[in-house]
Amino acid sequence: MAYETEQRDSFSTVNPIIAFVFFAFALIMSMLLMHPVLTGISFFAALVWLFLLRGRKAFGLLLKFVLPVMILTAILNPLFNHGGVTILFYLRYNPITLESIIYGAASALMLGTVITWFACFNAVFTADKIVYLTGRLAPSLSLIISMALRFVPLFTKQAGRIALARRGAGSDASSRNIFKKARSGLSTLSALITWALESSVTTADSMRARGYGLHPRRSFANYRFDSRDAAVGGAIAAGILLTGLAAAFRVFSVRFFPSFQLNDFSPLFIAACAVYALVLLIPTIMYLEEAVKWRLLRSKI
């Protein structure tokens, strides 16, 4: 259809403080609670949201980074951790146990979950949100951080431009001779440093010209705290409270060594899992709600 537009993520527009609390909750709980059911829920929620946020690009991240890390963790743990009562076979006279394999798989799942949540965090937390969050605590520090973070991509971009200009002028940097390559690289670096010094002076001048450092000026952020933020924040707070209580009363307890033990799947446990899943799926639910609303509105026109 001609009017097919890219769907906007609804959670990306909630107040950054609420979003930050959500991410902190998701990450801390994923790291602390090693229960396979809970990690599975968290991984599922993070995956679904990442696919909604990044579309096809999420596949690349998963295949190139998350999956290798998970496989490596799952393989390495039984090789170095030999605890557990169920001995499967011996490797260099040390036992390979079922428990260490289970623990390896569980920690791989945990690691994958945390990385996926961080990928979501990166997609949602743009630089302006980070500055909004830290700006009130330490305005100059947050400015420096955001400028420093910007330097790496800026420098690589500029280095590429210089190299290309040098090539255009006849100094070929793609020579196979390693010494020529190094010499050419040094020339590029020298040009880059000159440019960096010059641009820092320009930046400082530009900032002064726009009145940076004048006393009554504050950073501007276009974030309000509206009723939707209150509703989402309330839901997240209730979820944190309930999940925290359940964790405190050892509803989610799991033991890997010396033998693998899970609690019985009591109704309380299932209810607590449902609450946990609901909280973590809030961004997905908001996204789907928005999509449905959009579709309904469009069909009326």
Partner 1 sequence: MLNNIFSDNNIQKAAKNAVPRRLFRAVCAFALAMLLVLCFSGCSAVSSLFATPPPADEAHTCTLYIECTKILENMDDFDSGKLDVLPEDGIILQKVTVNFNEGDSVYDVLVRETSARGIHMEANYTPVYESAYIEGIHNIYEFDCGDGSGWTYCVNGVFPNYGCSKYPVNDGDVIEWHYTCDFGRDVGAPIGG
Shortest distance in whole angstroms from residue 220 CB to partner 1: 28
- Angle of CA points 90, 96, 101, to nearest 5°: 160
Which residues are near partner 1 by CB under 8 A?
Answer: 82-85, 87, 89-95, 97, 160-161, 164-165, 167, 174, 255, 257-259
- Ramachandran angles phi, psi of 170, nearest 5°: 110, -5
- Closest separation in Å from C-beta 178 to partner 1: 13
Distant-in-sequence, close-in-space partners of 57: CB < 8 Å, separation ≥ 6: none
CB of 93 to partner 1, least distance (A): 5
Distance, in Å, from the CA atom of 278 to the CA atom of 35, rounded to the nearest integer, reads 17
Using the minimum distance from each CB to partner 1, give the nearer residue, 78 or 283. Answer: 78
The Cβ of residue 69 has, within 10 Å, a number of other Cβ atoms equal to 14
For residue 221, what are the CA distances in angstroms to 123, 171, 211, 225?
Answer: 19, 47, 18, 12
CB closer to partner 1, 90 vs 249 = 90
Say how far apart CA 88 and CA 102 lie, in whole Å: 12
Q: Which is nearer to partner 1, 82 or 228 (CB)?
A: 82
Least distance CB 299 / partner 1 (angstroms): 38
Q: Least separation, in Å, of the C-beta of 53 and partner 1?
A: 26
Q: Which is nearer to partner 1, 79 or 241 (CB)?
A: 79
CA nearest neighbour of 135 among 122, 146, 123: 146
Nearer to partner 1, 154 or 292 (CB): 154
- Residue 212 or residue 249: which is nearer to partner 1 going by CB? 249
Smallest distance from partner 1 to CB 77, Å:
14
Distance CA 200, CA 208 (A): 12
For the chain, what percentages of helix, strand and coil (3-state, to nearest 5) are there?
A: 70, 5, 25
Decide: helix, strand or coil at residue 97.
strand
State in angstroms the smallest separation of the CB of 61 from partner 1.
19
Angle, alpha carbons 148-153-159 (nearest 5°): 115
Locate the DSSP E strands across 86-203.
87-91, 94-97
Rg (C-alpha) for the chain, rounded Å, is: 26
Alpha-carbon distance of 27 to 134, in angstroms, equals 19
**Residue 165 or 186 having the CB closest to partner 1:** 165
